[in-house]
Structure 1
Amino acid sequence: MAGISWHYVFKFIITGDAAVGKSSLLIRLTDQRFLANPDPTLGVEFGSKLVTIPEENKVVKLQCWDTAGTESFRSITRSYYRGAAGCLLVYDVTSRKSFLNTRTWLADVRQHADPHLTCILVGNKIDLCQDEPETDQTGSAKSKRQVSVEEAELYAKEEGLLFVESSAKSGLNVERAFEQAARDILDKIHRGAFDDDQSPGVKLSKPATGNTPSNNLSLDASRSRPACCNS
């Protein structure tokens, strides 16, 4: 390949409880479409996307691993956390349990991913809360939302996370979530937090010279996937 198609490859993981919309977020990012009832993720699913960061004049290839949210696949998904530079920590704004469980997911990710990991907390399914009546027939407050923006923002601030609310159905803030995390990773690269030779989740694309491959990447999607995903 002559020249460079992208400047960096960032390894991302998408984690959180089952049914919070992780697969739908990935499909919206990569295919710009919405699946109302996607099949449950068995182990991991993969997708990639080129994003442009205009102020940096950089094109970044995001290699995203959508991980299963059930305990039975935890040992498999943990192996994909290793070396990740970015993480979408997803919960469903209409499910308080999924929000509370993000603490467990975050601890797991931080134990196995790159120590300089950029994590963005994503409150998904806000389309379910839009255009709701403010009160029911008795005058009582009625809402599907179980996690307020203020509470999620406070939690994100306490844990040093980025934060955004999104809708995989409408596409609202889906690309923004990934781009916001990518910008933060680029900033960490500038500050020397990520080393291109030592950080598996961040790889610098290099032009072809002689017998040197055009892209020095170790995150290629052709890597073997768990047996559960090959059927």
Structure 2
Amino acid sequence: MANGVESQQKIDYVFKVVLIGDSAVGKSQILSRFARNEFSLDSKATIGVEFQTRTLVIQHKSVKAQIWDTAGQERYRAVTSAYYRGAVGALLAYDITKRQSFDHIPRWLEELRSHADKNIVIMLIGNKSDLEDQRAVPAEDAKEFAEKEGLFFLETSALEATNVEAAFMTVLTEIFNILNKKNLVAGEDQGKSNGPPPSGKRIVIPGPAQEIPAKSSMCCRS
């Protein structure tokens, strides 16, 4: 009787994506804007870990995004290895009005890279772009850092819903494409997959977008 409902709920892929960065940069607001299209001005600090899901269609496939949000406070850092396990994407967030939150990004990136899969797709996010008059981090600084580290980069505003959808969709689509390429080259000679990454409008730096074996992915960084 319920097979009609079940067929509608068929999920082709589940992608786990983690949100990391200092507390109070707006991670929970970015998540609720993406998952439920909501924004709450009196949001409380996240305690421990929580996640929300949203199912979308990418290239005719049903993809469930499982987005994990963590408290940025030090005392919850013990959760790291379980938090990062199985994550195929990450959004690394800072607040454009708080220089310190951007200065901490290299530390977060280091933690991410030591716990997560080598081929994880990472997007750097400068949140609160609606507070331009209080800007403390020039977009150029963040863009330069993203290019150097092989990350995607966007400035977002969870309040105004600017670029939140684009940030998640860029990461999810990139994961989807990498997965599809892996499926395509699985039966082929691996030597054929050492070419340059596909060119596109987005910045694709050697790193997560390369389809070469993980252990040699550092060889192409300049």
Aligned pairs for 1:199-218 within 5 A = none
CA distance in 2, matches of 1:31, 1:57: 22
Q: Could you say which structure has the greater relative contact order, defined with CA pairs below 8 angstroms and 6 or more residues apart?
A: 1
Q: Which stretches in structure 1 are left out of the alignment for 5+ residues? A: 130-142, 194-231
3-state SS in 1 of match to 2:72: coil
CA distance in 1, matches of 2:7, 2:174: 29
Q: 2:164 aligns with which of 170, 174, 177?
A: 174
Q: If each structure's helix is expressed as a fraction of its own residues, which one has the higher value?
A: 2
Q: 2:51 aligns with which of 30, 33, 46?
A: 46
CA distance in 1, matches of 2:175, 2:166: 14
Given that 1:50 and 1:61 are in contact with CA atoms closer than 8 Å, whether structure 2 keeps it comes out as yes
CA distance in 2, matches of 1:77, 1:189: 25
Amino acid at match of 2:139: V
Q: In the alignment, does 2:19 pair up with 1:29?
A: no
Aligned pairs for 1:145-160 within 5 A = 145-160=135-150
Please list the CA deviations of residues 121-169 of structure 1 after superposition, one character each: whole Å capped at 9, or x if unmatched. 010001111xxxxxxxxxxxxx411111111111101111011110010
Aligned pairs for 1:57-206 within 5 A = 57-129=60-132, 143-192=133-182
3-state SS in 2 of match to 1:188: helix
Given that 1:48 and 1:63 are in contact with CA atoms closer than 8 Å, whether structure 2 keeps it comes out as yes
Deviation at residue 97 of structure 1 after TM alignment: 0.6
With 80-89 and 3-12 compared, the bigger mean Cα shift is at 3-12
- TM-score, length basis structure 1: 0.74
Amino acid at match of 2:173: R
- TM-score, length basis structure 2: 0.77
Q: Which stretches in structure 2 are left out of the alignment for 5+ residues? A: 1-5, 184-222
Amino acid at match of 1:161: L
Deviation at residue 183 of structure 1 after TM alignment: 1.1
CA distance in 2, matches of 1:97, 1:20: 11
Name the structure 1 match of 2:14: 9
Given that 1:44 and 1:67 are in contact with CA atoms closer than 8 Å, whether structure 2 keeps it comes out as yes
Q: Percent identity?
A: 43
Deviation at residue 8 of structure 1 after TM alignment: 1.0
Amino acid at match of 1:146: A
Please list the CA deviations of residues 86-137 of structure 1 after superposition, one character each: whole Å capped at 9, or x if unmatched. 10100000111101101111111111111110010010001111xxxxxxxx
3-state SS in 2 of match to 1:119: strand
Deviation at residue 3 of structure 1 after TM alignment: 6.4
Name the structure 1 match of 2:187: none
3-state SS in 2 of match to 1:23: helix
Name the structure 2 match of 1:206: none
CA distance in 1, matches of 2:71, 2:129: 21
